[in-house]
Structure 1
């Protein structure tokens, strides 16, 4: 059995969908396809969510843009306007539009999940219908019916026992060899839509791989494999042919965008190999992540850049020491406001932390911390991480930049810079 996860870039156009079909049809085994929203649809729906919650008049025009983008792709793929895909996709847009005609709730994260989830529902509907049209019968599955989570909107936590039972019932392969389903999405036991965190489609594929005990998980990307840097950032980036689960976890933890931070853990537990491959040059092998990874003959420096960061500096107002009880209360506040902490450093009287710039949560967090502490912050900074660093790699990343905070260990160096 294969599980293939395809990102939005692989199906961002009619040509992309056609290329996707070629890849799928080159395999004859039982296959589950996990798909993201098309192109930049998630970003567009996030903007619509912001406007909806702000009760902005821009919602309607942005909704029409998203709808037009998808129907342009459909029109290129399906010459016959009577094809069922038109009615199915139109029905999804009608449901989305009806939600946007209502009033926002008092829970932004709930509204986010109800709106943004349509991206995956629409993309999988189009792709499933086109696969069938091109001679590959398949079954479309609403993943929300079997991947069950709690009601932590935007960060749904998997109910493993219930999901295990429902996933085995759903993906039985009794009536089809190919399933098409959504990444990123989950559902509560009361059938409310949740999501698994930004870029969570990889995690969906890993969960299904774990539950179904697959032989291998393949994640198809717009890069040749796992690179030692984002090639859109550093044009001399090199491919890593083979790495261990441990190294993959480290890279994901520090923010490498090729894999989702939670993806590796489920497959590592069952030693399921993960192949990261290019959907552009799909005959190439890509990068293999497994327990059998050989130690690389030469450890290339791996560069990871996280933009849109905020460096927060916190001091007790009475200049007392930062003690365990201070840190405990501060970390409790970060957890309460669901702020992802990317780097911490403390001295006798101060505590510094680098976090993602999530403005709604950040403003609430800073307001609460300011009640008991003196708070200063720098926004729009970058966090640069170098795995397997050397002097040349550090100089390359920091030359001419102001370093606000620096940390080094034997294998990893991190810099907050402006």
Structure 2
């Protein structure tokens, strides 16, 4: 039994669906498959824009129509017969979304509404994929992941109820998998009162790992538009290296520091049951890819990780006193209340600095909360570089020509924030 996760690029157009089918067909003859699919192309971004407009009482109809047209055009390529039921199902989903947007209540939190709205992207893609595989002669079962991945109500980053989730997955899905492949959604969970939750941006990897863990899968595969797990983003570095095999621990640290190929929470559910994870290319499925498993890496190539749109904030005591543990506790409490994650922190005698993802609303709330207690300075529009397993040459190459505002080194990892 294997879990396959397909990201947005692997279902971005009609040709991508045909390519996905070839991969699934090849494996379905010998393996039980559970397919986890993300929203198509840039649909999540598009729905976020629709939500922003609707929440601010602006006209969102053009943006919503553009999203509908995008899906409709792909459906028309995949299903030439206009009478196919996928047309009606897609229209019903968009009607539900439009009704939800029209019934917005101003006293409901933005984050709650975010989960209800943005989740439609995965409902669109999984519905289309389910029907497409059927037309290609590959019977499959569509499953609503919101009924199986049970969570709390931490909107936009829900916490999984592992005991209940594993119980109902093991109760229902093995018998379905014994008959045919399952198609389900990434990124989504559900509460015990029927509301939709999401597991964090790019959370489809995590969804797949949850299913793999609960089903005791033989392995999990993430199908990407790159040849495997690379030591750097090819958008920023031309001389990337593919890791043939890498340990769970190395991968967890890379994901935590911001490597975009894998969601940070993906590895733990797999490592707990020693389930290997393969990162493969849907463009070149025969390629070796990367195996992530319980192994030891004596020496591996340095990994270069960049986090964009960073904010560096420094807190100083107003009376030039030392920044004590009590001061830092006050800062940490404020960060926790606003659900702001620290990407890097450093303290000196009279200041405490943190690097975070920039979110203007959260930044202003943090400043309002702490400005009476601290002198606060901040810079925005920055980059956070992380080099794992750094060497002198890799360090010099990465820092050359950059204005470094903060630098931090450990035995194996270098971080620096720059303009």
TM-score for the superposition, normalised by structure 2: 0.97
Partners of 1:312 and 1:96 lie apart in 2 by 39
Partners of 1:283 and 1:164 lie apart in 2 by 33
Decide which of 184, 188, 191 is 1:188's aligned counterpart.
191
Decide which of 251, 255, 263 is 2:254's aligned counterpart.
251
Residue 329 of structure 1 corresponds to: 330
Q: CA deviation at 1:315?
A: 0.9
Q: For 1:55, what is the secondary structure of its paired residue?
A: coil
Residue 274 of structure 2 corresponds to: 271
Q: For 1:313, what is the secondary structure of its paired residue?
A: strand
Q: For 1:42, what is the secondary structure of its paired residue?
A: helix
Q: Deviations over 1:87-143 (max 9, x none)?
A: 111100000011111224441101110110000000000001000010000010110
Partners of 1:55 and 1:363 lie apart in 2 by 22
Gap change, CA 1:73 and 1:236, over 3 Å in 2: same
Decide which of 46, 49, 74 is 1:47's aligned counterpart.
49
Q: Do the aligned partners of 1:52 and 1:104 also contact (CA within 8 Å) in 2?
A: no
Task: Compute the RMSD of aligned alpha carbons.
Answer: 1.1
Q: CA deviation at 1:198?
A: 0.6
Partners of 1:359 and 1:50 lie apart in 2 by 14
249-258 vs 47-56, greater mean Cα deviation:
47-56
Gap change, CA 1:280 and 1:24, over 3 Å in 2: same
Gap runs ≥5 in structure 1: none
- The answer on 1:19 being equivalent to 2:19 is yes
Q: Deviations over 1:321-347 (max 9, x none)?
A: 111111111111111101111000001
Q: For 1:172, what is the secondary structure of its paired residue?
A: helix
- The answer on 1:88 being equivalent to 2:92 is no
Q: Deviations over 1:163-209 (max 9, x none)?
A: 11111233123473200000000000011110000111100111111
Paired residues for 1:212-251 under 5 Å: 212-251=215-254
- The answer on 1:261 being equivalent to 2:264 is yes
Q: Do the aligned partners of 1:36 and 1:201 also contact (CA within 8 Å) in 2?
A: yes
Gap runs ≥5 in structure 2: none
Partners of 1:276 and 1:363 lie apart in 2 by 39
Residue 357 of structure 2 corresponds to: 356
Residue 69 of structure 1 corresponds to: 70
TM-score for the superposition, normalised by structure 1: 0.97
Q: For 1:26, what is the secondary structure of its paired residue?
A: helix
- The answer on 1:107 being equivalent to 2:109 is yes
Residue 128 of structure 2 corresponds to: 126
Q: Do the aligned partners of 2:385 and 2:415 also contact (CA within 8 Å) in 1?
A: yes
- Runs of 4 or more above 6 Å deviation: none
Q: For 1:320, what is the secondary structure of its paired residue?
A: coil
Partners of 1:52 and 1:339 lie apart in 2 by 25
Partners of 2:335 and 2:266 lie apart in 1 by 23
Partners of 2:119 and 2:381 lie apart in 1 by 28
Q: For 1:173, what is the secondary structure of its paired residue?
A: helix
Q: Do the aligned partners of 1:30 and 1:173 also contact (CA within 8 Å) in 2?
A: no
Residue 30 of structure 1 corresponds to: 32
Partners of 2:226 and 2:303 lie apart in 1 by 15
